[in-house]
Amino acid sequence: MSGVTMHVTVLLREAVDALAIRPDGVYVDGTFGRGGHSRAILSALGERGRLIAFDRDPAAIAAGEQLNDARLTLVHAPFSAMAEELAALGVPKIDGVLLDLGVSSPQLDDASRGMSFRFDAPLDMRMDTSRGQTVADWLAEASVAQITEVLRDYGEERFAYAIAKAIAAARAAGPVATTGQLAAIVEKTVRTREPGQHPATRSFQALRIFINQELEELIRVLPACVDHLRANGRLAVISFHSLEDRIVKRFMRDASRPPQLPARLPVRAADLPAPRLHLVGKSVRPSAEEVAANPRSRSAVMRIAERTEGSA
């Protein structure tokens, strides 16, 4: 196993400020990771405050258990299970929720997780290593059409079909079971790529997003966040990929507008239900100083919204 680098939390202060934390409030960190945001939230909470932190990764949960803070509740589950888990904890409403999407540095830098083509390792890519299908298992049975669809839809890979055919041809001689094998197949197939980008970047990203159902998880959790927020509670979401950010942007935009009714329906604007969200400021991006210190932060964008008194 390669050495695992320390995770550097992106938009740390900006994200905590976005939540407008009340000392006695109840907050959710949807992606504990290595606890950077959670620690900052806890430092802003008083003795009566509470933080509920979710993570799919057993290693992240193990890291969180080292904090030993009575105000912190760790939940080993995807954030899409937020409604069920909050109900089980007897928490009907919260004052804020932070979602820091994507993959963490420890997951990328631990060769055994199989998320990076920088190491030759088992082709796993699961965020939750305790359950679910690995990428190697899926590639062993997926059709060329299915592989093409995943690479195209989740990685925006223009050579998706050619790569899918190459994977199918390669597995005829034996399983595509390691990151090195997959990277070599893609590199041999993709002859041109953006300067400075490895030919396998989009394929690895697409397969990781697919196997973890990252976009579907996001689509499910956003309405749950709004449902559980108290009036004036904040939702802050940090995205690292255009597909994620598009989902967040559209959801917040739609939830901040009155319901769209047929044009000729005789209903006054004043009689329409109030929107459920109010957009807070413009999108936030890392400063030049943060990007220089942590290049992985360069694609991050945070969007913030506040719960209104509007009903469901």
CB-based contacts of 264, cutoff 8 Å, min separation 6: none
Flag whether 37 is marked binding: yes
Flag whether 146 is marked binding: no
Q: What is the dihedral of CA 93, 94, 98, 99, to 10 degrees?
A: -20
Q: CB count, 10 Å around CB of 282?
A: 8
Flag whether 79 is marked binding: yes
Flag whether 180 is marked binding: no
Q: CB count, 10 Å around CB of 291?
A: 16
C-alpha to C-alpha distances, 239 to 12, 20, 99, 104, 232, nearest whole angstrom: 14, 20, 8, 12, 22
- Tokens found for residue 302: 């945070």
> Which residue, 79, 68, 67, is CA-closest to 128?
79
C-alpha to C-alpha distances, 86 to 51, 72, 182, 274, nearest whole angstrom: 11, 14, 40, 26
Q: What is the dihedral of CA 65, 69, 71, 72, to 10 degrees?
A: -20
Flag whether 227 is marked binding: no
Rounded CA separation 28/11 (Å): 17
Flag whether 107 is marked binding: yes
> Which residue, 304, 272, 301, is CA-closest to 286?
301
* Strands of the chain, DSSP E: 26-29, 50-55, 72-76, 94-100, 229-239, 277-279, 301-307
Q: Do 107 and 195 contact (CB within 8 A), yes or no?
A: no
Rounded CA separation 53/31 (Å): 7
Flag whether 55 is marked binding: yes
| Binding-site annotation, residues | 35-37, 55, 79, 100, 107
| Binding-site annotation, residues for S-adenosyl-L-methionine | 35-37, 55, 79, 100, 107
